[in-house]
Amino acid sequence: MNNRIFGIETEFGCLTPGDRSLGPPEVIAARVRNHVFKNQRLGVLDMHYRNWGEPPGNGGFLYNGGRLYIDMGHLEYATAECRSLFELIAHDKAVEWMIIGALKRLGIKEEASFFKNNIDHFTGATFGCHENYLVRRNVPFYEVVIPKLLPFFVTRQIFAGTGRVGCYEERLWEFDDDYEDNGPRLVDFQISQRADHIVTEIYEWIQFSRAIINTRDEPLADYNRYRRLHLLVGDTNMSEYAAALKVGTTCLVLDLIEKKRPLKNLGLFDHVYAIKHISRDQSLKWIVELESGRTISAIDLQREYLKPAQKYLKNRDSETDWVLTQWEQVLDALESDHLSLTDKIDWVAKKWLLQTFMEAERLTWDDPWLESLDLEYHNIDQQKSLYYELERKGAMQRVTTDSQIRKAIKSSPKNTRAKARTYIMQELFRRKMPYIVDWDLIHSNFGEPFNMKDPFETYDDEVASFLKRLNKAYSRPTRFKKSKRSRRY
């Protein structure tokens, strides 16, 4: 999947002792951030205001190419720009190791916990997992990209959902005594954590309306060539396999759209209702209504994307073939025996785990114990997490190795602009020079700003020239290793 840039943003929940002896969660989040930058020295903190909510020191860029920061009190991590699917998963997992390492060194690992999930059972709050995909600007976004993608995103949850106990009801009260709630019925367990919190198909501002697709036009790249597809709809996966399949299938659908391959008109009658209905459908048949009035299962709708992907994209590269093979196998298994996916798909694994526990303890779905277990599935501490207990026993399939994750903690991808950003950051910090670092631009008091408008470019020659000029002006010369030039998007 070398021809697309993608990344994942993760918002972490934090649980602290009830007596608040360690302070509120936002204090723990800040201590972890500070330890990552100031003690572990895995990146550089911002020296400037990024906006009104991000003062100096609120966050910064990491040497692995990603970004760690505080957003409205919670810790958030954005991976580096990646071009390899499995490298992305390693970078997504790397931050878990950073956080746990910080908690351990701070001496609060047993008392404080961080969670990679999307809901708070107690307050009803939701935490996001935002996916980012670089797309061509010459493909009409509102007329082509969005209509083709919405049905895919609504139904993708059948293999990308992480599942949850119960549901969240955001009722819209009216002054009409005859008002009735005609929404989906309350359920004991559903397959997606984010579905209940989606209120519209598209919207520009995240803070005011949680949409399937965020339409804010902020490419963080050459505006004339690229646009950034920013998604709010996905669950935060613990399963490496499910995360890879989620991102991989999305990339293939985008490839079909940009290459103008024929795709059927699969627009749904009501995308927002359908996403909640699929998540809560206890029959697991997931039948939805199309704009035409015809009905189709979510599995068959996904196959309408899979078939052209197999026809036009097969044998392109090893990662593409992996996605195509797994996509087909998962859809078939969901149709015939979803329990065969217990080692791959989060919601299947979690539901099986909870039902096994319920049978052993003779519990019902309304027992608060189950909400606690639901949360512990997402604990990123491998000694506490129910997910990692399954992984430790070999009950979950992986697509990375520990050595790849360990490498992703300190090393940026070598085939995107993250490489250039990291080298220059390290040099400016090492020489104690002031800097302003952003995804596509670096300012310093040495020469002109360093522009990185093409995320596919490693800027080897430009970095070498910059460092050469820097070495002439200052002592302690630096050696820069060039990469092989790779084909641009």
Residues classed as catalytic: 71
367 to each of 27, 138, 188, 385, how far by Cα in Å?
31, 53, 10, 20
Look up residue 193 and give its two tokens: 């954590």
Q: What are phi and psi of 405, to 5 degrees?
A: -70, -40
Q: Which of 79, 40, 86, 29 lies closest to 439 in space, CA to CA?
A: 79
DSSP for residue 116: -
DSSP for residue 196: G
DSSP for residue 54: B
Q: Judging by beta carbons within 10 Å of its beta carbon (0-12, 13-18, 19+), is residue 428 exposed, middle or buried?
A: buried
How far is 487 from 489, CA to CA, in rounded Å? 7
Q: Which of 282, 307, 299, 288 lies closest to 336 in space, CA to CA?
A: 299
CB-based contacts of 451, cutoff 8 Å, min separation 6: 440, 441
Q: Return the axis-axis angle of helices 240-258 and 85-106, rounded to nearest 10°.
A: 140
The identity of residue 76, as a single letter, is E
Maximal C-alpha separation, the chain? 78
Strand partners, 296: 288
In 366-452, alpha helices (H): 368-376, 386-392, 402-410, 418-430
